[in-house]
Amino acid sequence: MDAILALEDGKIYRGKSFGAAGESYGEAVFNTSMSGYQEILTDPSYKGQIVTMTYPLIGNYGSNEEDAESCKPHVEGFVVKEYSKIASNWRSQDSLNEYLKGNNVPGIEGIDTRNLTLHIREKGAMKAVLSAIDTDEKSLVKKAKESQGLIGVDLVKDVISKKIYEWNDKGKYKVAAIDCGVKFNMLRELANRNCHVIVVPAGASAKDILDLKVDGVLLSNGPGDPAALPYIVKSVQDLIGKVPIFGICLGHQMLGQAFGGKTFKLKFGHHGANHPVKDMKTGRVAITVQNHGFCVDIDTLNKKEIELTHMNLNDGTLEGMRHRRLPVFSVQFHPEASPGPHDAKYLFNEFIILMKSYN
């Protein structure tokens, strides 16, 4: 079945449909990872986005339940040069095609993903529509232009659990993970470090969280525009100084705003497993996993209160910060590293040390 990816600027890509045969809307972005497509599909931070994989062959090891980062895929659409008709791996439980079909995610293959990636790099991420139903190019471009987009939209409410739940039932340190679209591997990393992890939905008040008698708080990743989440920022402000806090990705952006900073939209975002980040204290460079389209503006932070700890070596944007007096730190990248390298996992150990010294 034919399929079309249409961008709001009028650019058209024709290919073949795979996965669910439908129509979907989202911001078109690209991810430079060579593997880990199931983790990408199930990352809640991709809600509202149509993801293009730059690696040409995707799907060769199939899919399985263990690699999921949430209960289901959250991408609006999936774009590849070629999807593998053969899934060959001892852990494979289903093909990529069947996995997408079963989760109602439309895909398109057979397009020039290199051209699409270069177009997004030059023009910036933009609204798009992927369709195997409507084949009228003018109609699709119009739909893309009129679609919602990401700016000013709260997508967190669409991906979170509405109830408090325990990830595991024991551990030396009790940690509240504020779920803005949390990835399972963040919870696994904490549990592996002797933490009793309780997942709390975004929107819970500071009182709700402190009433759990926790030793620390993890602010998770999540989708959309951080400036559209003042209710989460308010809870974070009320938590600062009362308990150790570790923010990751959207959690980092929430802390940035809680400290009085502003966020802005990147031209095409950072999506992939090969982003170099420099630790400003040690000079060490880590290869990191990233997935974000917004960033904290360095110039809006109070440097007397906030220490800049990590910088992106590709574009000089802020990748980490720490409060100079209070037990609070955060990073923009993903130290849980699934998919991708393990260079940044030490940050979970730093969170444990912080809780140990504070309590």
Residues 310 and 344: beta-carbon distance below 8 Å:
no
188 or 340, which is more confident? 188
Q: How confident is the model at residue 54 (pLDDT cuts 50, 70, 90)?
A: very high
Backbone phi, psi, residue 21, to 5°: -90, 90
Residues 153 and 48: beta-carbon distance below 8 Å:
yes
Residues 356 and 206: beta-carbon distance below 8 Å:
no
Write b or e for each residue in 131-157: b if 16 or more Cβ atoms lie within 10 A of its Cβ, otherwise e: bbeeeeeeebbebbbebebbeeebbbb
Q: How confident is the model at residue 312 (pLDDT cuts 50, 70, 90)?
A: very high
Is 341 a residue whose pLDDT tops 90? no
Residues 133 and 23: beta-carbon distance below 8 Å:
yes
Query: What pLDDT is stored for residue 13 in this prediction?
Result: 98
The predicted model gives 197-218 an average pLDDT of 97
Query: What pLDDT is stored for residue 45 in this prediction?
Result: 97
Q: Are strands 126-131 and 23-31 parallel, antiparallel or unpaired?
A: antiparallel
For residue 57, list its beta bridge partners.
82
Q: What is the pTM of this model?
A: 0.96
Query: What domains, with CATH codes, occur in the chain?
Result: 2-146 (3.50.30.20), 156-358 (3.40.50.880)
- Rounded Cα distance between 169 and 166, Å, is 6
The predicted model gives 92-109 an average pLDDT of 97
Write b or e for each residue in 174-213: b if 16 or more Cβ atoms lie within 10 A of its Cβ, otherwise e: bbbbbbbbbbbbbbebbbebebbbbbbbbbbebeebeeee
Is 321 a residue whose pLDDT tops 90? yes
Query: What pLDDT is stored for residue 4 in this prediction?
Result: 98
Q: Which letter does DSSP use for residue 14 in this model?
A: E
The predicted model gives 138-155 an average pLDDT of 96
The predicted model gives 34-49 an average pLDDT of 96
The average confidence (pLDDT) of the chain is: 96
Q: How confident is the model at residue 151 (pLDDT cuts 50, 70, 90)?
A: very high
Six-digit token string for 171: 């551990």
Q: How confident is the model at residue 359 (pLDDT cuts 50, 70, 90)?
A: confident
- Rounded Cα distance between 288 and 108, Å, is 28
Catalytically active residues, by annotation: 249, 334, 336
Residue 307 CB-density burial (10 A; 0-12 exposed, 13-18 middle, 19+ buried) = middle
Query: What pLDDT is stored for residue 340 in this prediction?
Result: 81
The predicted model gives 245-257 an average pLDDT of 98
Q: Which letter does DSSP use for residue 94 in this model?
A: B
Query: What pLDDT is stored for residue 339 in this prediction?
Result: 76
- Rounded Cα distance between 112 and 118, Å, is 10
The three-class DSSP label of residue 71 is coil
Q: How confident is the model at residue 28 (pLDDT cuts 50, 70, 90)?
A: very high
Residues 258 and 250: beta-carbon distance below 8 Å:
no
The predicted model gives 212-241 an average pLDDT of 97
The predicted model gives 285-299 an average pLDDT of 97
The three-class DSSP label of residue 235 is helix
